[in-house]
Structure 1
């Protein structure tokens, strides 16, 4: 529950959040094209873990209070799934670029809606099931299967969307017993441990200019999460969540202007279908609430 209900401020903060995350994805695409994805994510997680630990330290009760949970295995699983999703999504950037990867990834709210029934026991009505079906038609428009141009690599961002949907559902499940601060702490720490164990053996020397980009990546990651926290403190999630789709717009500008990507007609049409279907599921969820 938001501490206040300033929807205008919440919308502005969400727009700022999506812009920062888009910049972060652009930097991730650059670094992952030059260095191993696992190493890039590992360094990013070191900073993320330090960030969540610093926040926990400043809260009442300190780190011990933030780490206290009755469901540690669930919290660890959440952290591992998110770290895996980040690795898969950044890998997708190197295969397909920013625009097509994010166009497919925007299907994750539809996956959340589809899986909320079997995982959380929530009721999904026929209208939302229809929107979910239409949304995945949009994904098929983006992927163009059966026309001789479909690449198996296009499945990678879809796998990332599925992982992120699972992470979101498990976060919702964990919130029944744990606070947001506890979940945030475990997300950073467990993901950092996992990436250190997996990524340490993939360490590569980086040139000095790329260390600047790596530092910027870490800062944008922390800034993005901080802005997201402030967004949900300012306004209700249902009011600001539709503006999260602006990340696709910002990413498209970065993809075209920085990396020379192009926006294919099928990607634009498919993404529009997915976004409209996602917005409808959010609206129906708010109506049901």
Structure 2
């Protein structure tokens, strides 16, 4: 009964995370439509780094113990991958809108499954390969490469999904030697160090009301990541990860309501195919893990 209650709470936490992330994406699109993306991401990482430093300093052993790792190069690479992914996806928000960006980005679990063999040495069976193929057929439905004028920027969120999948796999790889908290601290600090030069080069004056939006962006980012960590601590990832797809629903509503995005039929159909394929790969991964 206790395990069931934990899973139930984990599901509700994941639902809350998807809502907060959707709001965060809407704020990111608003700010990046008015200001340089590099500056927006830099300020976000400054807040993230200050938060991680404050948490690390209060942990057992202090800051040095919290940042101690046997694999600094790996931690640096995975943190940089997340930086690039965030910049790319926010660019896609501005160029394509929230709906189409997230419809394509929903393919990242399929990419995780496809890359888990070469990166982690895991075996990917024919069922999951079939699901991966079907999922990418859904991507083609969204992109419509054979109809009209194909926009090169439509590939941007797919690149972001690839980078996030690689980041996720390297995070799992790092977890073999480092605690999750260590990876969390390195993510914030390396991200801030990497973005600061670009943020200062492309700095722009920001009006007072947008500083309020920037504060909301920073708070939603930290809150969502904190709740996500809490969710994974009390429930199995395979049990709650499927609910992460709800973010596509919330962000579509925000895109239509706040930015006038249009949900085209091919995007809705393609996104449904991608999500179903992704859910199947998650189910197969859980089934394999439960097989003795």
TM-score range, shorter chain: over 0.9
Structure 1 residue runs of 4+, over 3 Å off? none
Partner deviation per Cα, 1:144-196 (whole Å, 9 max, x = no partner): 00111421010000000000001001101101110000000000000110000
C-alpha displacement at 1:62, in angstroms? 2.0
Scaled by the length of structure 2, the TM-score of the pair is 0.97
1:10 aligns with 2:10: yes
Partner deviation per Cα, 1:43-89 (whole Å, 9 max, x = no partner): 00000111111221222222111100011011011111101100000
Q: Which residue of 1 aligns with 2:175?
A: 175
C-alpha displacement at 1:4, in angstroms? 9.4
Q: Which residue of 1 aligns with 2:47?
A: 47
Q: Which residue of 2 aligns with 1:90?
A: 90
Q: How far apart in 2 are the matches of 1:4 and 1:204?
A: 50
C-alpha displacement at 1:234, in angstroms? 1.9
Q: How far apart in 1 are the matches of 2:88 and 2:181?
A: 26
Partner deviation per Cα, 1:255-274 (whole Å, 9 max, x = no partner): 00111111000000000000
Scaled by the length of structure 1, the TM-score of the pair is 0.98
**Number of residue pairs matched by the alignment:** 287
SS of residue matched to 2:157 = helix
Q: How far apart in 2 are the matches of 1:147 and 1:182?
A: 47
SS of residue matched to 2:272 = helix
Contact 1:4 1:234 in 2 (8 A): no
Q: How far apart in 2 are the matches of 1:139 and 1:42?
A: 31
Q: CA RMSD in A?
A: 1.1
Contact 1:69 1:178 in 2 (8 A): yes
Q: Which residue of 2 aligns with 1:109?
A: 109
C-alpha displacement at 1:111, in angstroms? 0.3
Contact 1:5 1:235 in 2 (8 A): no
Partner deviation per Cα, 1:92-136 (whole Å, 9 max, x = no partner): 001000000000000000000000001110000000000000000
SS of residue matched to 2:260 = coil
Q: Which residue of 2 aligns with 1:125?
A: 125
Q: Which residue of 2 aligns with 1:143?
A: 143
Contact 1:19 1:250 in 2 (8 A): yes
| Structure 1 residues 158 and 42: alpha-carbon distance in aligned structure 2, compared to 1, 3 A threshold | same
Which sections of structure 2, spanning at least 5 residues, go unmatched? none
Q: How far apart in 2 are the matches of 1:197 and 1:77?
A: 18
Correspondences of 1:65-76 after superposition (within 5 Å): 65-76=65-76
Q: How far apart in 1 are the matches of 2:20 and 2:271?
A: 21
